[in-house]
Amino acid sequence: MADTTRPINETPAHDAELDRIFELQKKAFAAEPYPVANVRTARLDALIHAIEANETRIIDAVNSDFSNRSRHETLVAEIIVSVSAAKAAKHNLNRWMRARAVATPLHMKPAKSRLEPQPLGVIGIISPWNYPVQLAFSPAAAALAAGNRVLIKPSELTPATSEVMRDIVRAEFDESVMAVITGGVEIGQAFSSVPFDHLLFTGSTSIGQRVYMAAAKNLTPVTLELGGKSPAIIDESADIEAAALSIAYGKTFNAGQTCVAPDYVLTPRGKLNETVDAIAGAARKLYPEIDTTADYTAIITQRHFARLKGLVDEAKGAGAKVIEVGSSNALDPQRKMPLTIVVDPPEDIALMREEIFGPVLPVLSIAGRDAAIDHVNKGDRPLALYWFGNDGAARDEVLRRTVAGGVTVNDTLLHVAQENLPFGGVGKSGIGAYHGEKGFETFSHMKPVLYQSKFASSKMLHPPFSEKTDKLLKMIRKII
């Protein structure tokens, strides 16, 4: 995810309200360290109701923060995805809460082994501006299902949405169970220094590093959902038109302000012009009235808008061909950008070094499959990778030889919406994962327990040692 927040200071701030609610939740967890299934279900129902009953308020608030955010995008990405996460957790809760049997080696039988999920305590969630509701409430659903208390700090760049989130959580939850803390960078700085039992941060790699360092002072376990330059690879076997439509959709949804948006395209050298034309044509089909429609989302702030414009200006100055779908003259006053396709830009410009996080799409011609793989592997490991084609052997080779947080084949974005697939990065694109059962496990301690039998032979290994001990050890060494 692009760098969107000012740096965290070395010396953490102190906030009395944050400290008060954290201590309240710690005490409440100590009094109820293992909520039963019915209690957890009731909390998930409360979260579902908070979102569904306030759908219009949420849509209006997000639209206000963006100055224009597509209603349908908010409905899909904020409301439906968040409710889906909570409902999936509710549906699977009893199964997730069960102890998992683990095989016990022959020489340790008749003992039995289990993994027993145990709530961690108080979970902190720092959510970003680009999907302010989903990236707070989806992990909150997993944390509540796991039996924890939850404290959320939304981004200061979406103040209207943050206020609505705080209000609807207050209406449904006692603050000892779940609460939302609002405020600026100073509160975010203090939040990352709280000794949570687990901290989840979604945002840029640079800020994630600072959050990680602050959490390390308390040895707080962290999940970092970051970003990076996620490639879309078009194979020789691909249907260019179909691939172009998926790529254009993934790049224009939320105006490209998505951590898993395709950041650049690699296409066969002989199909460069066909690919560029197909992506531009697909964007025109998706947004035939792009200059005036409310379906096309604005850039979050003027600062972010200026950054994107600067990336494009540098590419133009370096001699790259630029194709715009939409009129800058019409869109600039709305703080919107055309879908801007940059053809074969040089590798040393900022556009090719930084995560773009907007509707600017470099399309690069590549000599072949090996060259595409090498191009991906020479950079940091991306949060997502997209592959398009009909050659199964080629697909499998690319997936084996590249490392990415997640993959969608012949489409974009959708692996993130599949609640049963873990979502997370690898390397600089993130640490850890959540969604579905993985989310439940992330916010649980999967406690290993060995149940010894009264018929156990382990006492035969106690001193004083004898020839019988040597014989027993010889037998054990044969069967392990």
Q: What is the CA radius of gyration of the chain?
A: 25
Longest dimension (CA), the chain: 91
314 part of the active site? no
Considering only CA atoms, which of 343, 337, 376, 379 is closest in space to residue 358? 337
347 part of the active site? no
Question: CA-CA distances (angstroms) from residue 239 to 231, 234, 252, 306, 323?
Answer: 17, 9, 20, 35, 22
Distance between CA atoms of residues 390 and 239, nearest Å: 8
Considering only CA atoms, which of 338, 333, 350 is closest in space to residue 248? 338
Considering only CA atoms, which of 131, 146, 366 is closest in space to residue 254? 131
Question: CA-CA distances (angstroms) from residue 123 to 85, 156, 169, 324, 444?
Answer: 17, 20, 15, 44, 10
452: phi then psi, degrees, rounded to nearest 5: -80, 145
Distance between CA atoms of residues 377 and 380, nearest Å: 7
Question: Which residues face 105 on adjacent strands?
Answer: none
Whose structure tokens read 């700090």? 153
Distance between CA atoms of residues 327 and 386, nearest Å: 29
Whose structure tokens read 């955010």? 69
User: How many CB atoms sit inside 10 A of residue 449's CB?
Assistant: 12
Angle of helix 159-172 relative to helix 55-66, nearest 10 degrees, comes to: 160
- Coil, helix or strand at residue 81: helix
Question: Which residues face 112 on adjacent strands?
Answer: 451
Catalytic residue among 73, 78, 172, 225: 225
- Please answer whether residues 373 and 266 qualify as being in contact, where contact means their C-beta atoms are separated by less than 8 angstroms: no
Catalytic residue among 73, 78, 172, 259: 259
DSSP 4-70: -SPPPPSS----HHHHHHHHHHHHHHHHSSS--HHHHHHHHHHHHHHHHTTHHHHHHHHHHHHSS--
Distance between CA atoms of residues 61 and 57, nearest Å: 6
Distance between CA atoms of residues 371 and 380, nearest Å: 16
Query: Which residues 6+ apart lie within 8 Å of 342 measured at CB?
Result: 312, 315, 320, 321, 322, 351, 360, 361, 362, 363
Considering only CA atoms, which of 283, 306, 258 is closest in space to residue 415? 258
Query: What residues act catalytically?
Result: 225, 259
